[in-house]
Amino acid sequence: MAGKKVMMQGTASSVGKSLLAAALCRVLYQDGHRVVPFKSQNMALNSFITDEGLEMGRAQVMQAEAANVKPHVLMNPILLKPSADTAAQVIIKGKVQGNMTAASYHKFKPQLKEMLGEVFQELSKDYDMVVMEGAGSPAEINLMENDVVNMGMAEIADAPVILIGDIDRGGVFAALYGTIQLLGEHRKRVKGIIINKFRGDKQILEPGLKMLEDLTGVPVLGVVPYGDFNIEDEDSVTERFNRKVKGEAKIHIDIIHLPHISNFTDFHILETFPEVEIRYVKARDHIENPDMIIIPGSKNTIADLKYIRESGLEKEILQANKKGILIFGICGGYQILGKKIMDPQGVESSLEEIRGLGLLDVETVFEGEKVTTQVEAVIQREDLPFLKSGKDFSIKGYEIHMGRTTLGELAKPLMTITNKLGEEVSYGDGAVNGNLQVMGTYLHGVFDQLNFTSSLINYFMEKKGLDPLGENQMTLEEYKNKEYDKLAKIFRENVDMEKIYRILGGQE
C-alpha cells in the first residue's frame, strides 16, 4: 500500500504504545504533516461515539486529538468490549456484531483481513502519514497464524515496525531480544527500538543499548524518560486508580471502582483541578467522607450492582445519602441508582430482574439494540443546589447503553436533550430525586462542560466556606493540548526523529 506509515508495537501490554503513538502523531502534526492514527483492533471498555453515531476505542480518539483530526471509526475498525473473562462484545466499523467467546473470535479473525485492508486504504488516502498501533505483544506465538492487530496488520499495510519496551517493569533487554527472536520471518519489519519509562542515568544504560543493537541488528532510536502526563488512558490497567492524594486538594470525590468500569475518561477533567482529589474506591476500601460519590459506567451493570451489594459498598453509599452527600450516576451507574433493573432477553445476564439501590425512582429494562449517539442537552433546573446562576447550562455528550430507563412519579428529568446526531429533538434525560441529592444521566462527557463542572466544584467550596474558583479556568481542550505538547517535547528530545522520518519513508 502506498503512503508513509509506521507501526508502534510493544513487548507487552501497557508498555506505552498508545502514548508514544500519540506523541509521534503530535510531533508530525507540529512539523506540518497531515497525520492520522490507526489501530485495527482495540480491546477496551473505554469507547467513544463519533459524529455518525458509531462506536470506537478511546485510545484512537486521544491520538486523533494529538494529531488535530476529528475521530473517525476507520481509525479503529474493530473494538472488543470484554463482558466476561472469556467473552466480549464484538464491534466492527462502529456497529455491534454480537458477543463471541475468545475461541469463536479467534476462528472468525481470518474473515476480517480483507476488510482491514480496505479500511486502511480508505483511511490513509487522505493523509500524508499513518501512525499505527499494535496490541499486547506481537510475539504471542499461539496467535500469530490469525493475527490481525500486530504483524498481521503490519503485513496487510506493508508497514515498518518500531518495537517499544518498558524498562520500568524490569527485564527490558530480555523482553526486546526475546520478542524479536520469536517473530520469525516478520523480524525484518522491525526497523527500530524505543525504550520507554526510563528513570536514572542514561550513561549507565548505554553499553546495554549497544549490546542490544549488536544482538538484534536493530538500532535503538531513543530512550524516553518516565513522565507524568495527564492524558486519557486506553484501558483499566492504569496508574490513575492508585494515584496519591494531592496535598492541596480541598474537594474530595469518591468514584466506585466497578470490576467492569467503562469510560472512566468521564472524570479526566476533574483531575485537572488542583482543588479536587479523585479517589477510586474498591471493595477493600471504605467511603470516608467525600463531597460527592460517583457510580460510573459499566460494561456489565448487573454484575457490578451485585458487586456493590456483596462488597458492603451499597450500605456505605446509602449511609452517605442519609448524611446528605451528593451521589451521581453515569450510564450504568445511573441504572444502578434506580429501583430495579430487568433483563428479560438475557442481554447481560441470566438474571431476569435485580433490585437496584433505590435512590432514584426509575426502572431500567435491557433491550437487544444498543443506543450509540452524540447529543446536545440543556439543564434548566434552577432548583439544583449547584446551579444558582439562573442560566441554562448547555451540555454535550454521547450515549452508549443497552438499557431503556423510565421515570416514576418521584423522579424528574435532569436535563432536556435538544439535538441528536445533528437533528433537533426534545426529550428528557437522566433523573433527580426529591431532595436533589441523587442524580443520574446517560450522558458520557457531562463533566467535560467547564461551566457545569466549575459550578459543581464551587458549590462544594461554598459549603466549606472556601473561596470559589477563579474566572480564567482552562478548558479541557486547552488542558489536553498543553499535555500533548509536553508529551511531544519529551519524545522529540529523546528519540531520533531523523531516523523515524527515514523509517516512515521506507528508507531504513
User: What's the one-letter identity of residue 353?
Assistant: E
Q: At residue 93, what are phi and psi to the nearest 5 degrees?
A: 50, 40
Spatial CA neighbour of 62 closest among 98, 115, 23, 31: 23
Q: Which residue has the higher pLDDT, 412 or 1?
A: 412
Q: Which of 222-231, 352-361, 378-387 has the highest mean pLDDT?
A: 352-361
- pLDDT for 443 beyond 70: yes
Q: CA–CA distance from 323 to each of 252, 414, 448, 466 (Å)?
A: 15, 22, 28, 21
Q: What is the pLDDT of residue 228?
A: 81
Helix H segments across 326-423? 332-336
Q: What separation, in Å, do the N-terminal and C-terminal C-alpha atoms of the chain show?
A: 17
Mean pLDDT over residues 245-264, rounded?
Answer: 86
Q: Is 257 a catalytic residue?
A: no
* Angstrom distance (rounded) from CA 395 to CA 452: 8
Name the segment(s) of the chain with CATH classification 3.40.50.880.
Answer: 251-465
Q: Is the pLDDT of residue 461 over 90?
A: yes
Tell me what percent of the residues of the chain surpass a pLDDT of 90: 73
Architecture of the CATH domain 251-465: 3-Layer(aba) Sandwich (3.40)
Torsion angle in degrees (nearest 10) through CA of 271, 168, 38, 222: 120
Stretch 363-387: mean pLDDT: 87
Determine the pLDDT at residue 356: 97
Measured distance CA(344)–CA(347) in Å, rounded: 8
Evaluate if residue 338 carries a pLDDT over 50.
Answer: yes
d(CA 267, CA 255) in angstroms, rounded, equals 9
Model confidence band, residue 368 (pLDDT cutoffs 50, 70, 90): confident
* Measured distance CA(18)–CA(495) in Å, rounded: 16
pLDDT at 237: 47
**pLDDT tens digits for 94-148?**
999 988 998 899 889 889 999 999 999 999 999 999 999 999 999 999 988 889 9
Q: Is 462 helix (H, G, I), strand (E, B) or coil?
A: helix
User: Which ranges in the chain are annotated with CATH 3.40.50.300?
Assistant: 4-49+56-74+110-231+481-504
Find cell 443546589 and name the residue: 385
pLDDT for position 390: 57
Question: Which pLDDT belongs to residue 243?
Answer: 55
Can you give the pLDDT at residue 236? 41
| pLDDT for position 473 | 74
pLDDT at position 22 over 70: yes
Catalytic annotation, pick one of 72, 257, 331, 401:
331
What's the rounded mean pLDDT across residues 480-487?
Answer: 95
Q: Where are the alpha helices (DSSP H) in 228-376?
A: 301-311, 313-322, 332-336
As given in the structure block, the three cell numbers for residue 270 are 476533574
The yes-or-no answer on residue 331 being catalytic is yes
- Predicted local distance difference test score (pLDDT) of residue 242: 60
pLDDT for the residue numbered 449: 87
Residue of 72, 260, 401, 444 marked active site: 444
In the chain, % of residues over pLDDT 70: 95
Nearest CA-CA partner of 328 in 256, 402, 391: 256
| 39-43, 297-301, 382-386, 430-434, range with the lowest pLDDT | 382-386
Contacts of 342 (CB under 8 A, 6+ apart): 352, 353, 363, 364, 365, 366
Instruction: Count how many Cα atoms sit within 13 Å of the Cα of residue 409 in the half-sphere of its side chain.
Output: 0
* Segment 12-18 mean pLDDT: 93
Task: Give tens-digit pLDDT for 269-309.
Answer: 898 888 999 999 998 888 989 999 999 999 899 999 999 99
Distances (CA, A) of 330 to 275, 294, 296, 298, 495: 22, 8, 5, 9, 40
Q: Is 408 helix (H, G, I), strand (E, B) or coil?
A: coil
- Average pLDDT in the 451-475 region? 87
pTM (two decimals): 0.88
Dist CA 507 CA 500 (whole Å) = 10
C-alpha cell at 355: 433490585
Q: CA dist 210 to 199, 213, 218, 226, 325, Å?
A: 19, 5, 10, 21, 58
Contact by Cβ (8 Å): 321, 437: yes
Per-residue pLDDT tens for 203-247?
999 999 999 999 999 999 999 999 888 887 664 445 556 655 556
Spatial strand order in the sheet of 95-101: 41-43, 78-84, 87-92, 95-101
The torsion angles phi and psi of 419, rounded to 5 degrees, stand at -150, 130
Task: State which CATH number among 3.40.50.800, 3.40.50.970, 3.20.20.80, 3.40.50.300 fits the domain covering 4-49+56-74+110-231+481-504.
Answer: 3.40.50.300
Strand pairing class (438-441; 326-330): parallel
* Element of type H or E holding 102: helix 102-108
In single-letter form, the type of residue at position 222 comes to G
- 3-state secondary structure (DSSP) of residue 349: coil
- 132 in Cβ contact with 5 (< 8 Å): yes
